[in-house]
Structure 1
C-alpha cells in the first residue's frame, strides 16, 4: 500500500474515534442523564479536564485533517507533506494520551455522588476495588446509576484513545517511510 493511501486510511479511521471521544466526554457532563448535576457543579473533576473533547477530540481531529490532506496529494504526497504529517501525528498521539490519562484517573477515582448525605467521591481510596464490587455501587444514592455511567464512559474513552495512539503511531511510521522513500510513481494507464 502506498504511503498516501495509508495516510487516507488512517485519517478516515481517526474521524469516528474523534466523534466517540467528544460524545463520551459531553455525556459525562450529564450523570443520571440530567443537566442539573452539571449546573450545580456536581460532576467528577476529571470530566472538567475534558480529555475526550480536547485531547481525543480537537487535537486528534487537527492531526486527522492534516494526515488526510497529506494523503490526498496523490499517491504519496511529497516528502515535506509527509514530514508535516509526522509532526501532527505526534501531536495527535499526545492528545490521545492526555485523553487516556484523564479517563484512567476518572475511572480510578470513581464518580462524585451523594454518599451518607454529602457530595463526595467515595471510591477514591478504594484502589480500583469498586470496579469489581458491584454491591458497593449502591453507596452512591444520587445521581442514579452514576457508577455504571462513569465506568462505561471512561472505559470507552480509554479504549478509544488507545486506538487513536496506535493509529497516530502508525502514521508516524508511515510518514517516515514517505519522507525517506519519496513518492511512489504509479504508471498512469493510457
Structure 2
C-alpha cells in the first residue's frame, strides 16, 4: 500500500464518521420534537433544523466522496489513477455540502431557538428564503438568548403558562421554563456540533483532494502489482 492509499483510507473513514455524526446531530431536534408531541412538523426547536444542514450538507453530499475514497484504497476495484482522481473531484461536492452545513449552523447559533427568535415555535414563523444567508458580514453573535434566564414571551400574571404550539389538538398546559431551557440546550449543542463537523469535513475533503491528485500522478500499488505479474508471466514464457 502506497502512502496515498493509506492517506485516502484515513480520509475515507474520517469522512464516513463525520457524515454519520452530522446526520445524527440533525436528527436530534427532529426526533425530540416528534417524541414530545407525537407528530412531525409540529413545534420545531429551530427553523434551521428544517434546512437539513446535517442530513443534506454534512451527510448526503459527503457520502459520494466517502464511497469513492474507500473504493480507491488498497484492494478496491477503483484502486487506480482514475479512481484516485474521481475521489478527488467528488470532494468538491463534499466541500460545498460541508460549507452549507457550517453556514446554516452559524446562522442558527446566532439566531437562537425559534421560541427566542420569534416568541413562538411554530413553522408559520419560519422563513426558508436564501436572502438572509446572502451576507455573512451582517451576522452578529449575540448569545444572550442562551445566557438569559428566559427569552420567550412574558408569562401571564396568574402564573398559568400555556404552550405556543398550534395543531389539531387543543392547547395544553406546559412547564414553560423547563421546556424553554431544554430547547436552548438542544439548539446550541446540535448547531455547534454541526458547525464543527462541517469545518472538519471541509478539512478532510481538502486533504483527500491532495491525496487523490498525488495518487493520480504517482499511481497506486495495484498498478504496480499488475505490472509485476505481467512481467513475471512474460519471463516465464521465455524460460
**1:21-76 deviation per Cα after TM superposition (whole angstroms, max 9, x unaligned):** 001101122359624584424442211110100110111122111110011346x9
Q: Measured at CA, do residues 176 and 131 of structure 1 come closer, stay the same or move farther in structure 2, by a change above 3 Å?
A: farther
The separation in 2 between residues aligned to 1:55 and 1:151, in whole angstroms, is 18
For residues 123-134 of structure 1, the aligned pairs below 5 Å read 127-130=140-143, 134=147
Structure 1 segments of 4+ aligned residues over 3 angstroms from their partners: 35-39, 140-144
CA contact (8 A) 2:45 2:187 kept: no
Q: How many residues align?
A: 182
1:165 has 2:202 as partner? yes
Q: Distance in 1 between matches of 2:101 and 2:48?
A: 10
* 1:139 maps to which of 131, 151, 174: 151
Runs (5+) with no aligned partner, structure 1: none
TM-score, normalised on structure 2?
0.66
Distance 1:84 1:32 in 2: 40
What value does the CA root-mean-square deviation take over the aligned residues?
3.1
- Greater Rg over alpha carbons, structure: 2
Residues 25 and 50 of structure 1 are in contact (CA less than 8 Å); yes or no, is this contact kept in structure 2? yes
Q: Which deviations, in whole Å up to 9, do the C-alpha atoms of 1:128-175 show, x marking residues without a partner?
A: 2225861x2422444442112111110001111111111100000011
Q: Which residue of 2 aligns with 1:119?
A: 120
C-alpha distance in 2 between matches for 1:24 and 1:175: 29
Per the alignment, do residues 98 and 153 of structure 1 end up closer, same or farther by CA in structure 2, a change over 3 Å counting?
same
Correspondence for 2:69: 67
Q: Distance in 1 between matches of 2:146 and 2:91?
A: 39
Q: Which shifted more, 165-174 or 83-92?
A: 83-92
Return closer, same or farther for 1:5/1:42 CA change in 2, 3 Å cut-off: closer
Q: CA, structure 1 residues 14+133, in 2 after alignment: closer, same or farther (shift >3 Å)?
A: closer
Report if aligned partners of 2:62, 2:97 keep a CA contact under 8 Å in 1. yes
* Alignment TM-score, normalising by the size of structure 1: 0.81
